[in-house]
Structure 1
């Protein structure tokens, strides 16, 4: 039987995550008291195979009972039951924004600000996060991307480490993404903007990608870029980094940056890395130049 504990920061997407796990055939229970876990797992094992995948959502909503989780996990190990921990996380800024948008109160911010509640929760979950089998940072994820990530881990079995690589195209004229870890400027590559029949298309269109990648410089750069990123990833993993944001920029963020981001994304996917591709500015139209 596969047993997964779903936990993490409030507002990081646990409710959505457990819905996706239900879609994958997991028997899901939300907010069960931790002391009942060993008994619950024993009941599932007695189902004679009717229940072979279980996901339990356990977080700080359990209040004083939350700290019983670690004793229950030790009991499971003594009984010979294996388990996995999926920890959902997000940046403080993202969590605050989500709470404000939904007008919900943070469970630990009854007499304090949302930010203070998040800090308290992060401190209480520090030990559990360190024990996590899979850490998913949802800061930049859409619900669809979270669903795909969970499917990749728990259905496809493609997860090999906790690092998620976000590849984002952008336009320098609109500013560099603030959460970038690595920024690459591709404004030296052939520019489809100056080709009238390509100007209104983007790097998502094959004709634009073919134009950009028809240059030996583009091919050499994309190969060197992949080699660099491929070299860096194991070191980031060793450091314990959970997400790596690679931002690739051109002038407007519609042609060259989208093309190179597309090429890098597919090379990383082919290598088996957990990657997500986004385009920040590709839908913004360039103003016609004099």
Structure 2
């Protein structure tokens, strides 16, 4: 459900509120992943001043999420008045209200064995009823209302990204890494391509001390039918996967190509993947992790 507001009011200053147990924490994690700075449990009276400070930061703090809910106790009573004052002063904000059915909230509290903030020493259902009544006015002012009663985490993530990721305008960060298996696999790799089956320039004396970035070494690796066929399959796979990861909302992707020493074949393939992604307009970085670790490299340091 959405409450209509003019596009002028759709900014990157988000106030998250709603029912306890409705998924505010999880939603804020997803907002953090797409570049927002999150401040949790801020007393409402400080919201205008915080918004003013952000506007005066010169753009250094441009994407902010403030979480305001009934945990602020008596301070929460000023929340609706603060929002009304911000409206009168034409301060731009988006109000995201997280909600869920009473049954879903009660079930979640029972599963986590936590006390409800509105009923610390009585039944959870009483706390839910009190909180829902207290939030009526705030809910009516919401820009977006997200009901998580039947949502899985992945569904909630998709909703949050659909609402706010387009405003961020940030692409998925992709890191392409070449490495040598003898030095260990990169621990943070999402995709690993073992290219030790490709012809190895190490056994060609004139190429042993050169990296896979050197033209004659690259040409040697690329001349074999198995290399060309592999690159075709690799390109098709990468072209298929990247949009899927972006659609899923992945913030960072690490693609690793490995050979024995991380000097020839893995460097060549990593360069190929990097250029493929760069030509597609992706936000991509290239790293040859183990190039300087090879003993043969100590004799001749090629520029890569």
Shorter chain as denominator, the TM-score bin is: 0.5 to 0.7
Distance 2:102 2:81 in 1: 29
**What pairs up with 1:34-183 in 2 under 5 angstroms?**
34-156=44-166
Q: CA deviation at 1:24?
A: 1.4
Q: CA deviation at 1:72?
A: 1.6
Q: Is the 8 A contact 2:38 2:66 kept in 1?
A: yes
Q: TM-score, normalised by structure 2?
A: 0.50
1:23 aligned partner: 33
* Distance (whole Å) between structure 2 residues aligned to residue 156 and residue 77 of structure 1: 24
> Could you list the runs of 5+ residues in structure 1 that have no partner in the other structure?
158-290
Paired residues in the alignment total 157
| C-alpha deviation, 1:156, in angstroms | 3.1
CA distance in 1, matches of 2:36, 2:126: 34
How far, CA to CA, are the matches of 2:32 and 2:38 in structure 1?
A: 6
- 8 Å contact from structure 2 (residues 80, 137) kept in 1: no
Q: Give how far 1:117 is off.
A: 0.6
Q: Secondary structure in 2 aligned to 1:148? A: helix
Q: Find the residue that maps to 2:92 and give its secondary structure.
A: coil
Q: Secondary structure at the match of 1:88?
A: strand
Show the counterpart of 2:199. none
* 1:63, distance to aligned residue in structure 2 (A): 0.3
Q: How large is the Cα RMSD of the aligned pairs?
A: 1.2
Q: CA deviation at 1:80?
A: 2.4
How far apart, CA to CA, are the structure 2 residues paired with 1:119 and 1:45? 37
Deviation at 1:93, TM superposition (A): 0.8
d(CA) in 2 for partners of 1:76 and 1:2? Answer: 15
CA distance in 1, matches of 2:152, 2:90: 37
Partners of 1:116 and 1:74 lie apart in 2 by: 29
Q: What CA distance in whole angstroms lies between the structure 2 residues aligned with 1:68 and 1:118?
A: 20
The alignment partner of 1:140 has SS state of coil
Supply the distance in 1 between the matched residues of 2:99 and 2:117 (Cα, whole angstroms).
Answer: 16
- Say if 2:36 and 2:63, in contact at 8 Å, map to a contact too: yes
- The worse-fitting range, judged by mean Cα deviation, of 33-42 and 69-78 is 69-78
Supply the distance in 2 between the matched residues of 1:48 and 1:135 (Cα, whole angstroms).
31
